[in-house]
Structure 1
Amino acid sequence: MAFDLAAANAVFKEDYHGPVREQLNNDNPVTKRLVQNKQEATGKRFFVPLHYGRNNSVGYRAEGAALPTAGNQKYKETTANVRYLYGGIEISGPTIKAMRNDKGAFIRAVESEMKGLVRDLKDQRSRALFGDGTGRIGTFAVNTSVNTLTVDKIKYFQIGMKIDIVNNSGTVTQTGRTITNLDKANKTITIDGAAVTTAATDYAVVTGDLNNEAMGIGGIMSASLQLQGIDPASNPWWKPSVLANGGTPRAISQLLMRQAIDTAELEGGKIDWITTSYGVRAAYEALLQQNVRYTKPMTLEGGENVLEYDGLPIFVDRYHESNRMFFVDSGEIDLYQLSDFEWMEDDKGAALAPVPGYDKYAATMFCYETLVTYKRNAHTALMDLTEAPGYAV
Structure 2
Amino acid sequence: MAGFDISAATPVLKQYYTPAKVETLVFTSSTLAVMPKDTGGSGSSYEGAIRSAITSAVSATDTVAFTSTSSSIYKRWSCPWRSGYARALVSGEVLDKAGNDKGAFVKAVISETEGAYSAIGQQIGSFLFSNGGGALGQLDGGTAAGGTSDVTTTNVTLKNPSDAIKFRPGQVLKLATTDGTSGAVKAGSVTLTAVDIFTGVLTASGNWSAGIGTAANTDYLFADGDFGLAFQGIPAWLVANSKRAGNALSTLFNGVDRSTDPVRLAGVAFSGGGAPKKESLIQAGMMLHRLNGKPTHIIMNDLDFADIAKDLTTASRIVTETAYKNPQIGFSAIEYVAPFGAVKIMTDPFCPQGVAYILDIKTWKMPSMGSLPKVDFLDKLNWLRTAGSDSYEFRTLYRAATYCSLPGHNAVVEF
* TM-score above 0.5, yes or no: yes
- Write the distance in 2 (CA, Å) between the matches of 1:25 and 1:185: 23
What is the alpha-carbon distance in structure 2 between the residues aligned to residue 28 and residue 372 of structure 1? 17
TM-aligned CA deviation for residue 21 of structure 1? 2.3
In structure 1, the residue matched to 2:156 is 149
**Corresponding position of 1:208:** 225
User: Aligned pair in 2 of structure 1 residues 26, 125: CA closer, same or farther (>3 Å)?
Assistant: closer
2:168 alignment partner in structure 1? 159
Corresponding residue to 1:233 among 235, 247, 259: 259
1:25 CA displacement:
6.1
SS at match of 1:128: helix
Q: TM-score, normalised by structure 1?
A: 0.84
Question: Are 1:286 and 2:303 an aligned pair?
Answer: no
- Amino acid in structure 2 at the alignment position of 1:177: V
Q: Give the aligned partner of residue 364 of structure 2.
A: 333
Q: Give structure 2 stretches of 5+ with no counterpart.
A: 143-149
Deviation at 1:379, TM superposition (A): 0.2
Deviation at 1:373, TM superposition (A): 0.5
How far 1:299 sits from its partner (Å)?
A: 4.8
Shift of 1:241: 0.2
Superposition pairs of residues 38-53 of structure 1, within 5 angstroms:
38=38, 40-53=40-53
- Would the alpha carbon gap of residues 334 and 300 (structure 1) be closer, same or farther in structure 2, given more than 3 Å must change? closer
Give the match for residue 263 of structure 1. 287
Partner of 1:109: 108
- Aligned residue in 2 for 1:170: 183
Q: Does residue 124 of structure 2 align to residue 125 of structure 1? A: yes
In 2, Cα distance between equivalents of 1:159 and 1:244: 32
The alpha-carbon deviation at position 88 of structure 1 amounts to 0.9
Q: Say yes or no: does 1:309 pair with 2:336.
A: yes
The structural deviation recorded for 1:321 is: 1.6
Match of 1:342 among 374, 393, 406: 374
Q: What secondary structure, in the 3-state scheme, does the structure 2 residue paired with 1:228 have?
A: coil
Q: Hey, what does 2:147 align to over in structure 1?
A: none
Deviation at 1:316, TM superposition (A): 0.6
Say which SS state the counterpart of residue 402 (structure 2) adopts: strand
Q: Secondary structure at the match of 1:227?
A: coil
Offset at residue 203 of structure 1 (A): 0.7
| Deviation for aligned residue 1:18 | 4.4
Determine what percentage of the aligned residue pairs are the same residue. Answer: 20
In structure 2, do the counterparts of structure 1 residues 357 and 183 end up closer, same or farther at CA, with 3 Å as the change threshold? closer
Quote how far apart the aligned CAs of 1:17 are.
4.5
Task: Note if contact 1:89-1:117 (Cα within 8 Å) is conserved in structure 2.
Answer: yes
Does the 8 A contact of 2:317 with 2:336 survive in 1?
no
The structure-2 alpha-carbon separation of the partners of 1:28 and 1:171, relative to structure 1 and needing over 3 Å to count, comes to closer
**Aligned pairs (5 A) from 1:46-85:** 46-61=46-61, 69-85=68-84
Whole-angstrom distance in 2 between the partners of 1:305 and 1:144: 39
| Larger mean Cα displacement after TM superposition, 51-60 or 70-79 | 51-60
Cα shift at 1:115: 2.5
Change (3 A) 1:343 1:144: closer
Is 220-229 or 97-106 further displaced after alignment? 220-229
User: Unpaired runs of 5+ in structure 1?
Assistant: 386-393
Query: Do the aligned residues in 2 keep the contact of 1:3 with 1:97 (CA within 8 Å)?
Result: no
Query: What value does the CA root-mean-square deviation take over the aligned residues?
Result: 2.9
